[in-house]
Amino acid sequence: MEKKEGKTMPLLGDKFPEMKVATTKGVLELPEHFKGKWFVLFSHPADFTPVCTTEFVAFQKRYDQFKELNCELIGLSVDQVFAHMKWEEWIKDNMDVEIEFPIIADTGNVAETMGLIHPGKGTNTVRAVFVVDPESKIRTILYYPQELGRNMDEVVRVVKALQISDEKKVAMPANWPENEIVNDHVIVPPASNTEMIKKRKEQEEAGEIECFDWWLCHKKSE
């Protein structure tokens, strides 16, 4: 796969790069393997490390929530398959948690393509999260330093929020669904012309939406 000059990682809206990867569930072709589904690719620095272990347990405990959103998980680090498998075995024996999603055993090619190599940390990968939609487009990218474990509830929230945004053509407020101003409501796109301002007022009068002003309107998500 050709890398674009000066581009070290995919950007929001880019199609997820096509790649064949070795995983704990066999060889998979991405993004084709998850065609028609959302998926979350997340990288971790290394197997048999404390923060990463807590993250994998946390992801697995929310795996059913992801699947309810038609979303799959796939992990990655620059470790060999047998290391992933032994680590999964350790987690099962010591944490009583069975890791059900695949983990990519990367030689470094995937990490470099996705911009995951941590500066100054050798071949270790950063804690990155890529949320990819059913059209194989990258919709969200999150990066964390090695010393900071991720909040998996936030990743679930991102997937759910993007799906509602796509379906309803709305935006999501800060801390949704527990926003300090509009609670669990979603944001109606602001009017861009005088005709739309008039329509917003009519919608408000009909009880379809609530507005603080013509440019800040909200409604129930359902």
Determine the Cα–Cα distance for residues 12 and 146; give it in Å rounded to an integer. 23
Residue 217 annotated among the catalytic residues of the structure:
no
For residue 68, how many other CB atoms are within 10 A of its CB?
Answer: 10
Which two structure tokens, joined as six digits, stand for 11?
Answer: 């950007």
Half-sphere exposure of 129 (CA within 13 A, CB side): 21
At residue 154, φ and ψ (nearest 5 deg) are: -65, -40
Instruction: HSE, CB side, 13 Å, CA atoms: give it for residue 23.
Output: 22
**Orientation angle between helical segments 81-95 and 50-61, nearest 10 degrees:** 70
- What residues contact 127, with CB distance under 8 A and at least 6 apart? 42, 43, 44, 45, 55, 143, 144, 145, 146, 148, 149, 150
**Candidates 52, 71, 211, 217; catalytic one:** 52
Query: What is the rounded CA–CA span in Å between residue 100 and residue 102?
Result: 7
Residue among 103, 110, 71 at smallest CA distance from 89: 103
**Catalytic machinery residues:** 52
